[in-house]
Amino acid sequence: MTPAAKSLILKAQDSIDTARRAVDDQHQHEICGYNLAQAAENLMKALIILRNLELPEGDEVHDLDALMSLLEEDNLSAISSYADVVELTPYNSLSARIGPGQRLNLHEYLGHVEDLKKFVGQAVM
């Protein structure tokens, strides 16, 4: 494993840990969502690096859908099983303001991101 991929996986775990601590606090909803989105982003970037692909440039480097599409285009069809994490994209900004009617069930998405982490772990082996 490359040092860059390992660093991204470790950052993803830190973000998952932060999200887990905040998931029950409705005042921390955006922070929890942001950390889940960051974890998903870093996990997909680790896969991209491990597959020797070029990271997207510009805004797409933080776009979860663009990262997912890049992996799918590289014949990693199994990544599609984790496509739910793309719905975290609106949270992927520190300035995100998610209205009450737009909030995702972050308990559910914590599970989706943890599943993605397991998949990345299997890909590393």
The pLDDT value recorded for residue 23 is 97
Between 61 and 68, whose confidence is greater? 68
Nearest 5 degrees, angle CA 47-CA 24-CA 67?
Answer: 20
Q: How confident is the model at residue 67 (pLDDT cuts 50, 70, 90)?
A: very high
CATH superfamily of 3-124: Nucleotidyltransferases  domain 2 (1.20.120.330)
Residue 70 confidence (pLDDT): 94
pLDDT in the model for residue 97: 84
Please, what is the average pLDDT of the chain? 93
58: left (phi over 0), alpha (psi -120 to 50) or beta: left
Q: What is the 3-state secondary structure (H, E, C) of 44-60?
A: HHHHHHHCCCCCCCHHH
Bigger pLDDT: 5 vs 123: 5
**Predicted pLDDT of residue 109:** 97
The domain ranges of the chain are: 3-124
- The share of the chain scoring above pLDDT 90, in percent, equals 76
Cα separation, 31 vs 100, in Å, equals 14
- Global pTM? 0.94
What's CA 98's distance to the chain center, in Å? 18
Question: What percentage of the chain reaches a pLDDT higher than 70?
Answer: 99
Whether the per-residue pLDDT at 107 is higher than 90: the answer is yes
Residue type, 52: N
Pick the residue with more confidence: 105 or 99? 105
